[in-house]
Every structure is written in structure tokens, then in C-alpha cells.
Amino acid sequence: ILNVEQSPQSLHVQEGDSTNFTCSFPSSNFYALHWYRWETAKSPEALFVMTLNGDEKKKGRISATLNTKEGYSYLYIKGSQPEDSATYLCAPYSGAGSYQLTFGKGTKLSVIP
């Protein structure tokens, strides 16, 4: 089981603000990193799966970067909208014969109209 930390735990931003949060994970035995978006009363939905150091992925106003050497990933949201309000989970996968993702506790984003 990997040690995964997400920060901040929660944040509130005004509509239109851009924001970012961090996922930290062990840099050894890295294989892939997943990001999920989880709206209240719904189920998690995949945003990105990233595997290569320096990877950048983008989906609309949401983007993510990956640094496997130092063990962190950033998720950016440009021009936050109320519909971006959700908990964002990251989950590294170490490979090495394991079949488990280890989910972080998430960053809860609230976008104030």
C-alpha cells in the first residue's frame, strides 16, 4: 500500500478563478498515476491516467502534469465553474506484481458562484 498525500484537503474558490492542487506519492516503483473526479452523490469518473515523467494531459479546462522523479502530480483548473465542484482523487499504481490502486483522500473543491 503506497503512501499518497493530496493537498489541500479542501478549498473554496470564486467562479472564474484558476486553481491547482497536488498529489504526492513515492517516486520509487512508479508505473502510472490516475486522477478521478468525484461529484457528491455520484461515483468517481476518470479524468486522466499518466505514465511518463513530464507527461501533460488536458481535458477542457482541466489539465495535469506528472513528475515521477520527485513523486508528484499537479491538477490545474482554469477559470473554475460551479460545475467543477467535486472531490478530486489521485491514485498511483506501482506495478511490481500489484493489482491495486492506492487512492488518496482527495481534494474537495467548492466553486462559489
- Comparing CA positions, the residue from 37, 80, 35, 38 lying closest to residue 56 is 35
Among residues 17 and 49, whose Cβ is nearest to other proteins? 49
Among residues 14 and 100, whose Cβ is nearest to other proteins? 100
CB of 30 to other proteins, least distance (A): 11
Cα 106 from Cα 91, distance rounded (Å): 9
Residues 6+ positions from 112 with CB-CB distance below 8 Å = 12, 13, 14, 15, 82
Contact call for residues 79 and 61 (beta carbons, < 8 A): yes
Query: Does residue 93 interact with other proteins by CB under 8 A?
Result: yes
Question: Which cell numbers hold the place of 90?
Answer: 489521485
Among 52, 83, 99, 113, binds other proteins (CB under 8 A): 99
Query: Does residue 11 interact with other proteins by CB under 8 A?
Result: no
Binding-site size for other proteins (CB under 8 A) equals 23
CA angle 23–2–77, rounded 5-degree value: 15
Binding to other proteins (CB under 8 A) within 30-69 occurs at 31-32, 34, 36, 42-46, 49, 51
Judged by the rule CB under 8 A, the positions of this chain that interact with other proteins are 1, 31-32, 34, 36, 42-46, 49, 51, 89, 93, 95, 98-101, 103-106
